[in-house]
Chain A
Amino acid sequence: MQCNELRKHFADYVKERLPAAVQTRLAQHLTECGSCTAELDALTDVWVKLGTLPTPEVPAAVMNARFHDALEDYRRNPKPASRADLWYWAAGAAASVLLVVLVWMVFLRTPAAISTATVDAIDGAIYRTWGGTTDRLEVGAPIKLGEELRSEGGAVLELADGSLVEMRSESVVTLESAIDGLRIRLKQGSVIVTAAEQREGHLYVQTKDMMVSVVGTVFMVNAEEGGSRVAVMDGKVRVLQGNVETTLTSGEEAATTEELKLRSLLAEIPWSRGAAKNGASLVRPEPIPPLPASQRVTAGAPKFEVASLKVEARPAGGARTGDVQGLSCTGRDGSWRPTMSTGLSSPSAPRGRCLGRYIGIQMLLAALYDVPLARVTGALPNWRILGSPYEYGFSIDAVAEDMSGVTQDQLRQMLKALLIERFKLNVRVDRREADGFALTIAPGGVKMPSVSYSEETLTTLTERPRQQVINGKTSMRKFVDFLPTVGSRCTIVDKTGLDGIHEYTLTLHVVAQPGTPAADAETIGRSKKGRGEGSSAVSAIEGVESCAPLRGRNMVGAGVFYEYTPSFNGSLEQQLGLRLEPQKVQLDYIVIDGVSEPAEN
């Protein structure tokens, strides 16, 4: 290869598209030519660095609104394509006209000029974010398209058509223009909408996985990371999820996931201002209880083609149960392995199948409903006591009919159906208030750099004698989900308001102290690595006692527990510019109302 050939091959080289033969010739040439090696290295370095430039933030809400406006205009005044071509190119001033239209859209149709709603009432605070700035709104403040509204405490908005939108605390909404009306985009939290009669168009509430359209009714929508729910109090709404449209009438509910179907949205209405008023027409006085879980999950749920449940014998050869315990379900989109599956010989299911070893009903429910072990309560049979036929739990081997096409989520649903059928299981979800923490930004400001999404990693915990190191590049949501693994058994919610991916390294120094280990089940159940049973560590979080005792993981030995020095909160603030503040949180408990020993097969 000649030196001047490098320029022909560089473009393919950086995209790793060089044919093998050329790759070989190039490699050979580079071993002999120092100048080409240097040039290739320098250019590749620039190419790689180009990939680190930040991605521009897209003003999605405004662009969506403008696009839908343009499409709507076009529908109302359609121009045949051929005529449009002629018109466009023939008119010398066409571009100017277009610009006028665009400028009108930018400056008149965006928040700068249109008031779509006003703040009608506030119980706490409501904040508006627009164009990178955030300000606090007062009663009577105008709300415009595209502005993001975040409630800290309840708030009520009145739309231009007289509809009322009541926001629950910690909810985030944006008002957008729809093709034939107005869209309330609910990013998180809940809203109760008392829709005025829509004479010409529609009012929509859009979450990430559901759209609700109305023509005059009272309904409530909830959006959270796991999915969305809608409940109708009066009138009827149309609900679009994917390509499936359903109509709900007064008292009916719908949810986008099986887990959410177990939690009645109507039962959560007491947060509403309307609910607080005696006999308020906004809400039904008696929430409708959800259907029993057994009826919900079995209705139309897919089932395994073959499924076997067997009582496990004591592990042979002195092996420990934990070494082989676990559950694995593999679908076409990957494997699901809940947290108890950490043994060296834990099962690994082939595609289209679920395999479990030494599984107890409590741990299985905890895994299926994604809650800590201690939050599965109720009529729990102690099938693992000595002498019970279920002393060591049971094994599961279940095969889906469509082995190549089934997904992880479908396998989980099938596993739930199997439990309900074989164990005659009846469970419900009970939401309870508990002490927890909010992760906030410390007064000194954030000390974590922001990185691009392409650099996202998992969070890792490295345990050394007297030291724990947490590092990763993730969203703040994933960071708060991980924190209880280390420093607290309490629930933590993200209140930092930080978007995107941040890089963090948190080093915690621990001091051994004698004391009584707290072998509570919840601590064990929260362990993301499933270790440390029977022992735990105490982490002192400065000035925080409402969630005490806060427990960390013991990484040295049983019978010893620890205190962090500096405190957990101190390290968090000093190293990352964050802090934990006590706060009441809502926790879901899985309550078993009925269960029977299954017949083996």
Chain B
Amino acid sequence: MLREWTDEALMVAVREGDLDRLEILFERYRDPLYDFFSRLTGNRVASEDLVQDVFVRILKYRGSYRESNRFVTWMYQIARNARSDYFRKHTARPDVIVLPSSAKDIKTPGRQLEESEERAFLQAALMQLSEGNRELLILARYQEMKYEDIADLFKIEVGAVKTRVHRAVNELREAFMNLQSKGSSCSATSSENTLPTT
């Protein structure tokens, strides 16, 4: 039955001291948050830390949650703050892209290789976007967040969100075409990760 509780009901229970409910929220949002941070920062170690940080902060600030707030919007606000704080204090380079091992390891001539290269260029192009546009596209495309929720999160009008989505995709397309025309594999094939420093 607990699995059927809404996020908001679970968070209210956590706020009231029933910390077991946070485990369910963690199960629901561990993967989406890791996906969000990983695409945003390109750094796996930082992403792992940041997911942990978000749930530590949820515990700390549980008293500030109001049931009138959508939990997902509240949580992503915390996530954005956590990321901002993290990179303000540390020098983890958020510019490393990791290709899936399948694309490197499997000998796939012809079309499949082209698709792998295309994905690498697109991923590199995504990392070239401004942080704001990259964050917007990740939320809209991968987190499948509603434009209304994004507007709430960014504290802008819904119409402005839609216009920015158009602009961000346009910017991404230009970066993608630019990389493709150069034919450069640049940093897109690097599997190196930069660990955060204290």
- Report the separation of the CA atoms of residues A74 and B58 in the bound assembly, to the nearest whole angstrom: 12
Check if B61 sits within 8 Å of A446, measured CB to CB. Answer: no
CB distance from B179 to the nearest CB of A (A): 12
Nearest-neighbor residue (CB-CB) of B45 within chain A: A106
Residue A59 interfacial (CB < 8 Å): yes
- Report the separation of the CA atoms of residues A75 and B14 in the bound assembly, to the nearest whole angstrom: 12
Check if A10 sits within 8 Å of B198, measured CB to CB. Answer: no
Instruction: With A53-B122, A53-B123, A98-B56 as known contacts, state yes or no: A75 contacts B64, CB within 8 Å.
Output: no
CB distance from B137 to the nearest CB of A (A): 7
Residue B80 interfacial (CB < 8 Å): no
Check if B166 sits within 8 Å of A51, measured CB to CB. Answer: no
Residue B163 interfacial (CB < 8 Å): yes
Instruction: With A11-B161, A46-B173, A132-B101 as known contacts, state yes or no: A243 contacts B2, CB within 8 Å.
Output: yes
- Report the separation of the CA atoms of residues A8 and B157 in the bound assembly, to the nearest whole angstrom: 12
CB interface residues, A 21-61, toward B, < 8 Å: 42-43, 46-47, 49-56, 58-60
B interface size (C-beta, 8 A): 68
- Report the separation of the CA atoms of residues A56 and B38 in the bound assembly, to the nearest whole angstrom: 7
Check if A56 sits within 8 Å of B141, measured CB to CB. Answer: no
Instruction: With A11-B161, A63-B48 as known contacts, state yes or no: A99 contacts B119, CB within 8 Å.
Output: no
Judged by DSSP, the binding face of A is helix
CB distance from B99 to the nearest CB of A (A): 8
Residue A453 interfacial (CB < 8 Å): no
CB distance from A135 to the nearest CB of B (A): 17
Which residues of A have CB within 8 Å of B107? Answer: 445, 447
A interface size (C-beta, 8 A): 57
CB interface residues, B 75-115, toward A, < 8 Å: 85-86, 88-90, 98, 100-103, 106-108, 112, 115
Check if A449 sits within 8 Å of B26, measured CB to CB. Answer: no
CB distance from A277 to the nearest CB of B (A): 41
Check if B52 sits within 8 Å of A70, measured CB to CB. Answer: yes
Residue B153 interfacial (CB < 8 Å): no
Which residues of A have CB within 8 Å of B122? Answer: 46, 49-50, 53
- Report the separation of the CA atoms of residues A439 and B123 in the bound assembly, to the nearest whole angstrom: 34
- Report the separation of the CA atoms of residues A10 and B170 in the bound assembly, to the nearest whole angstrom: 11
Check if B51 sits within 8 Å of A95, measured CB to CB. Answer: no
- Report the separation of the CA atoms of residues A196 and B19 in the bound assembly, to the nearest whole angstrom: 29
Which residues of B have CB within 8 Å of A47? Answer: 141, 169
Nearest-neighbor residue (CB-CB) of A87 within chain B: B60
Residue A271 interfacial (CB < 8 Å): no
CB distance from A80 to the nearest CB of B (A): 7
Chain B proximity mask over A542-584: 1 for CB below 8 Å, otherwise 0: 0000000000000000000000000000000000000000000
CB distance from B114 to the nearest CB of A (A): 12
Nearest-neighbor residue (CB-CB) of B99 within chain A: A54
Check if A95 sits within 8 Å of B89, measured CB to CB. Answer: yes
Which residues of B have CB within 8 Å of A43? Answer: 166, 169-170, 173
- Partner of A81 from the list B23, B60, B166, B198 (CB cut-off 8 Å) is B60
Check if A8 sits within 8 Å of B141, measured CB to CB. Answer: no
Residue A278 interfacial (CB < 8 Å): no
Which residues of A have CB within 8 Å of B12? Answer: none
Which residues of A have CB within 8 Å of B45? Answer: 106
Check if A46 sits within 8 Å of B52, measured CB to CB. Answer: no
Residue B13 interfacial (CB < 8 Å): no
Instruction: With A7-B163, A52-B119, A74-B59 as known contacts, state yes or no: A96 contacts B35, CB within 8 Å.
Output: no
- Report the separation of the CA atoms of residues A42 and B171 in the bound assembly, to the nearest whole angstrom: 12
Check if B176 sits within 8 Å of A11, measured CB to CB. Answer: no
Residue B70 interfacial (CB < 8 Å): no
- Partner of A450 from the list B34, B59, B102, B166 (CB cut-off 8 Å) is B102
Chain A proximity mask over B60-75: 1 for CB below 8 Å, otherwise 0: 1111100000000000
CB distance from A188 to the nearest CB of B (A): 21
Check if A106 sits within 8 Å of B118, measured CB to CB. Answer: no
Check if A99 sits within 8 Å of B30, measured CB to CB. Answer: no
Residue B31 interfacial (CB < 8 Å): yes
CB interface residues, B 150-198, toward A, < 8 Å: 159, 161-163, 165-167, 169-170, 172-173, 176, 196, 198
CB interface residues, B 20-42, toward A, < 8 Å: 22-23, 26, 30-31, 34-35, 38-39
Nearest-neighbor residue (CB-CB) of A69 within chain B: B52
Check if A85 sits within 8 Å of B159, measured CB to CB. Answer: no
Which residues of A have CB within 8 Å of B53? Answer: 98, 102
Seed contacts A7-B163, A99-B196, A103-B196; 13 additional CB < 8 Å A-B pairs: A7-B167, A10-B165, A53-B123, A53-B126, A64-B30, A66-B48, A66-B52, A80-B63, A88-B60, A106-B45, A447-B106, A447-B108, A500-B102
Subset of 17 A-B contacts with CB under 8 Å: A8-B163, A9-B162, A15-B140, A43-B169, A46-B172, A47-B169, A49-B119, A53-B126, A56-B35, A58-B35, A63-B48, A71-B22, A85-B63, A98-B56, A243-B1, A445-B106, A450-B103
